Amino acid sequence: PLLLEDDNTLPKEGEFKLRLVHAAQQAGTVDVYLTGPDDMIEAMEPSIQGFEFKDNSGYLEFPAGTYRARITLPGTKTVAIDTAPITFEAGQIRTAIARDPIPDEEDFGVILLEDRN
């Protein structure tokens, strides 16, 4: 079951919290790269490896700034989802949910929820 624990306590000074949820059943198991906006993933290890459908990362803390998430087929650099740059401010708490393509579209997507501003 997909149970999510809410921990809306504030992150450390200068940081934000981000929880990742894999709700894209059609994607199967994936790897997740959370990088700077212009970083290339070819020489990087995934931030989360072997992320399975219905998995959630729990809240992870990162320094405030601009990030880009890329979700790939496991063990490859083939990008299924690319969020483009997203800026997170200190104190924010967010949940990012990977989703299947919506009807009449081919692309997977991400829903970004504001857990606490």
Please enumerate in sequence order all residues whose Cβ is within 8 A of that of 86, keeping only pairs 6 or more positions apart, or say none: 66, 67, 68, 69, 112
- pTM of this prediction? 0.88
The reported pLDDT for the residue numbered 5 is 62
**CA separation for the pair 28, 23 (Å, rounded):** 9
Task: Print pLDDT tens along the chain (117 aa).
Answer: 455 566 778 999 999 999 999 999 999 999 999 999 999 999 999 999 999 999 999 999 999 999 999 999 999 999 999 999 999 999 999 999 999 999 998 899 999 999 877
pLDDT at 29: 96
pLDDT of residue 91: 95
Provide the pLDDT for residue 4: 58
Beta-strand pair 93-99/15-23: parallel
Q: What is the model's pLDDT at position 10? A: 92
